[in-house]
């Protein structure tokens, strides 16, 4: 086993990642050392690099939280995992397991949680550490490159859709058809929902249509609120993955009376605040719910959809050395589907 590994490291906010050799970490009690095969590039990684959120990430940082790989070594006290097992690492690196939220099966809102590739080193590296209790099990033989985006984009949109309470046959507006949104369209279809897709890019809307969206609206040259109200009488549910304040404001107004919107996107910084109509929310009994990644149960369910072929990320693989150009493409909104880094 080598002593060092290749990793992409952020040394200061808003600077390019450096490709470096760093020591391979040693798994502690209850931890796994994972040989990373694939790591998706999520817009949250770009928010981390750009310092969009408070608090900022722990620096120096190895980003990356859409990891598919294999167990290289189990630390002391680990049971149920062996070297070579297929595993995935999500954003939720850990939660405390002892607070009221963890007890209630709401570990996604544990105040003592750690985040992969934000407060802990992530998967833009050949190896990484993760607590065995929070690692996702992937069925043997799954395509690690197609599976990697399920570890964040998949589980997050799956939970977001569940949190709208939408039932089969109802309409859901997916607002933002990026890495998360194009997967959200597929979960929605697999859950029996009808999809209206909204983005500001014709190419992304083409992808949404090919994945089963019945209605597509380009917010760059049409008013998505008017179109969804006029054609559907409003959507029963909406899920917002766009990185633009306006989309969050519009999504409330896309709902039909009694509808629920799940907020997923996190524009951060100056874009973190919305204006909304109190009377619309009150009179039409609308619900606005936040949705933060997913629990371990959500992850198992989200992986099962993908393993059964119901959901498949549209990906382009790239070497780690290309990461700064990929992040710039994401900043400019040029990525269709998801870019997955090929580590092995
Ligand atoms: P992405 O860059 O791949 O996709 C964003 C999409 O939003 C793009 O397709 C873009 O064209 C579209 N968009 C921009 N402005 C729009 C507008 N006005 N109307 C409609 N669409 C618009 O990003 P991603 O990786 O899919 O991540 C999306 C967001 O979700 C990020 O803010 C990310 O941090 C956040 N996120 C949140 C969670 C969570 O748990 N809540 C988890 C993962 C990611
Ligand atoms: Zn993510
Ligand atoms: Zn907790």
**pTM for the whole structure:** 0.98
Buried b (16+ CB within 10 A) or exposed e, 181-216: bbbbbbbbbbbebbbbbbbbbeebbbbbbebebebb
pLDDT tens figures, 85-124? 999 999 999 999 999 999 999 999 999 999 999 999 999 9
What is the structure's pLDDT at 178?
Answer: 98
Question: What torsion, rounded to 10 degrees, do the Cα atoms 100, 103, 104, 109 define?
Answer: 60
> Residue 320: its pLDDT value, please?
98
Task: Report how far residue 293's alpha carbon sits from residue 153's, in angstroms, rounded to the nearest whole number.
Answer: 8
Domain ranges for the chain:
4-152+294-342, 154-290
- Give residue 270's pLDDT: 85
Which residues touch 270 (CB under 8 Å, ≥6 apart)?
none
Mutate to test the pocket of ligand 1, among 180, 291, 294, 316 (most ligand atoms within 8 A of CB): 180
Ligand closest to 113 (CA) is 3
Q: Which of 213, 241, 254 to mutate to test the pocket of ligand 1 (most atoms within 8 A of CB)?
A: 241
pLDDT one-digit tens code per residue, 257-292:
999 999 999 999 889 999 999 999 999 999 999 999
Strand partners, 125: 7
Nearest ligand 1 atom to alpha carbon 242: 7
Q: Does domain 4-152+294-342 have CATH number 3.40.50.970?
A: no
pLDDT computed for residue 121 by the predictor: 98
- What's the 241 CA to ligand 1 centre distance in angstroms? 4
Cα four-point dihedral sign 80, 81, 87, 93:
positive
Q: Which two tokens stand for residue 176?
A: 């933002």
At the top level of CATH, the class of 154-290 is: alpha beta
Residue with tokens 């050799």: 21
| Ramachandran angles phi, psi of 323, nearest 5° | -55, -40
- Could you tell me the mean pLDDT of each successive run of 10 residues in the chain, 344 residues long? 95 98 98 98 98 97 98 98 98 98 98 98 98 97 96 99 98 98 99 98 98 98 98 98 97 98 95 96 98 98 98 98 98 98 97
- Calculate the average pLDDT of the chain: 98
Q: What is the pLDDT of residue 214?
A: 98
Q: How far apart are CA 88 and CA 66, in angstroms?
A: 7
- Give the pLDDT of residue 1: 78
User: pLDDT tens across 286-319, in order?
Assistant: 999 999 999 999 999 999 999 999 999 999 999 9
DSSP character at residue 116: B
Q: DSSP for 197-243? A: EEES-HHHHHHHHHTT-SEEEETTTS-HHHHHHHHHSSEEEEEE--S
């Amino acid at each position: 086993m080598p002593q060092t590994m290749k990793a992409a490291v952020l040394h200061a906010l808003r600077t390019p990642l450096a490709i470096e050799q760093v020591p391979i970490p040693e798994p502690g009690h209850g931890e796994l050392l994972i040989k990373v095969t694939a790591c998706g590039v999520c817009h949250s990684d770009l928010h981390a690099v750009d310092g969009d959120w408070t608090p900022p990430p722990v620096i120096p940082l190895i980003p990356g939280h859409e990891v598919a790989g294999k167990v290289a070594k189990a630390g002391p006290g680990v049971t149920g995992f062996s070297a070579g097992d297929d595993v995935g690492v999500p954003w939720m690196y850990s939660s405390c397991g002892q607070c009221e939220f963890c007890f209630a099966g709401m570990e996604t809102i544990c105040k003592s949680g750690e985040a992969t590739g934000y407060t802990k080193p992530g998967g833009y590296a050949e190896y990484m550490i993760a607590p065995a209790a929070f690692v996702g099990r992937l069925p043997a033989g799954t395509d690690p490159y197609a599976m990697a985006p399920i570890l964040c984009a998949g589980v997050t949109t799956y939970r977001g859709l569940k949190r709208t309470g939408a039932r089969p046959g109802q309409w859901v507006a997916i607002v933002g058809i990026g890495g998360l949104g194009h997967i959200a369209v597929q979960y929605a279809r697999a859950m029996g929902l009808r999809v209206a897709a909204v983005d500001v890019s014709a190419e992304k809307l083409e992808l949404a249509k090919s994945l089963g969206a019945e209605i597509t609206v380009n917010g760059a040259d049409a008013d998505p609120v008017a179109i969804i109200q006029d054609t559907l009488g409003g959507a029963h549910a909406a899920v917002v993955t766009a990185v633009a304040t306006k989309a969050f404001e519009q999504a409330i107004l896309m709902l039909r009376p009694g509808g629920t919107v799940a907020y997923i996107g996190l524009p951060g910084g100056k874009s973190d605040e919305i204006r909304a109509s109190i009377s619309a929310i009150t009179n039409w009994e609308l619900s606005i719910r936040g949705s933060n990644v997913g629990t371990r149960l959500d992850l198992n369910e989200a992986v099962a959809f993908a393993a059964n072929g119901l959901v498949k990320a549209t990906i382009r693989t790239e070497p780690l050395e290309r990461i700064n150009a990929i992040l710039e493409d994401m900043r400019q909104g040029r990525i269709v589907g998801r870019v997955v880094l090929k580590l092995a």
